[in-house]
Amino acid sequence: MRTFLILFLFCIGMSCSRQHFWNTNKILLLQVDYTTYAFEGGKEILVSSNHSSLDTLPLVAIDTPASDFGSRTIIHEPGKEKIFYGTVVWMGRGNLIFPDSIISPGNFETRSMEVLPTPFQMLPPNRTIPEEKLTKIWEAVKHLKIVAKYLIKGKKIGVFEYSRSVGAGDPLDWDYYLVFSD
């Protein structure tokens, strides 16, 4: 009886861990400099919930305006998981809190063949980035192998600006981020 109970608990545990494994997906976050449009690095982030089969990204942008201190948060909606969090400081400079590190550009493989972007999805939706800036942002990452891998799914590309300093903010501190979903 004890052997049966141990075997039963083991099977339940394996079932739960397999279910968690199969429900794990990735979000790719790429950072591009606001003024030079240079690719600055990126990070793949695991999210534990299923992605939608729609082409839109299930992301929500939450902005807390900086009267002194504020923030920008991007949430993966299905699992309520934070994929980006950065502070914003009035007359100062905020910090990127999550992800806590960005992988440097030299660690991303490139390819000679460029890929065409799928449509962009602004975060939040009521923000706009001029077309000529979107083109320059895309130019910075279109040669990356990992971008081609994510675009196979046909999802839109999330894009947002992170202005860590406001008021007399310094655009040299700012970045654009592209978000891809598998």
What is the chain's pLDDT, residue by residue, as a tens digit (182 residues)? 555 444 444 444 444 443 344 467 899 999 999 999 999 999 999 998 665 667 888 899 999 988 889 999 999 988 899 999 999 998 889 999 999 999 999 999 999 887 888 899 999 888 899 999 999 999 999 999 999 999 988 899 999 999 998 887 899 999 999 999 98
Q: What is the pLDDT of residues 65-86, one digit of tens each?
A: 888 899 999 999 888 999 999 9
Angle (CA) 141-142-146 rounded to 5° is 75
Helix (H, G, I), strand (E, B) or coil at 45: strand
pTM of this prediction? 0.84
Q: What is the pLDDT of residues 11-29, one digit of tens each?
A: 444 444 433 444 678 999 9
Cβ burial, residue 39 (10 Å; 0-12/13-18/19+):
buried
Give the separation between CA 161 and CA 138, rounded to whole angstroms: 14
Contact 175, 34 (CB under 8 A): yes
Positions of E strands within the chain: 25-33, 39-47, 59-64, 69-76, 81-90, 96-98, 120-122, 157-162, 165-166, 175-181
Question: Residues 6 or more apart from 26 whose CB is under 8 A from it?
Answer: 44, 45, 46, 47, 181, 182
Question: Residues 6 or more apart from 116 whose CB is under 8 A from it?
Answer: 142
